[in-house]
Amino acid sequence: MNTHRASRGNADATYTTPWDATAHPPQQSALRAVTAAIAADPAADHSVTSLAVRAALSKRQLTRLFQSELGTTPARYVEKVRVDAARAALDAGHSVADSAGRAGFGSAETLRRVFIDRFGVSPKAYRDRFRTTARS
C-alpha–C-alpha distance, residues 85 and 81, integer Å? 6
Task: Show the domains of the chain with their CATH numbers.
Answer: 27-134 (1.10.10.60)
C-alpha–C-alpha distance, residues 91 and 93, integer Å? 5
Structure letter (DSSP) for residue 10: B
Query: Residue 130: enclosing H or E segment and its boundaries?
Result: helix 123-135
CA-CA-CA-CA torsion for 91, 102, 3, 116, nearest 10 degrees?
A: 80
Q: Are strands 2-4 and 15-17 parallel, antiparallel or unpaired?
A: antiparallel
What is residue 9's predicted lDDT score, i.e. its pLDDT?
42
State pLDDT tens for residues 51-60.
999 999 999 9
Q: Is the pLDDT of residue 135 over 90?
A: no
Residue 8: pLDDT band (50, 70, 90) is: very low
C-alpha–C-alpha distance, residues 35 and 51, integer Å? 9
Q: Is the pLDDT of residue 68 over 50?
A: yes
What is residue 128's predicted lDDT score, i.e. its pLDDT?
86
Residue 6: pLDDT band (50, 70, 90) is: very low
State pLDDT tens for residues 83-105.
999 999 999 999 999 999 999 99
C-alpha–C-alpha distance, residues 68 and 48, integer Å? 16
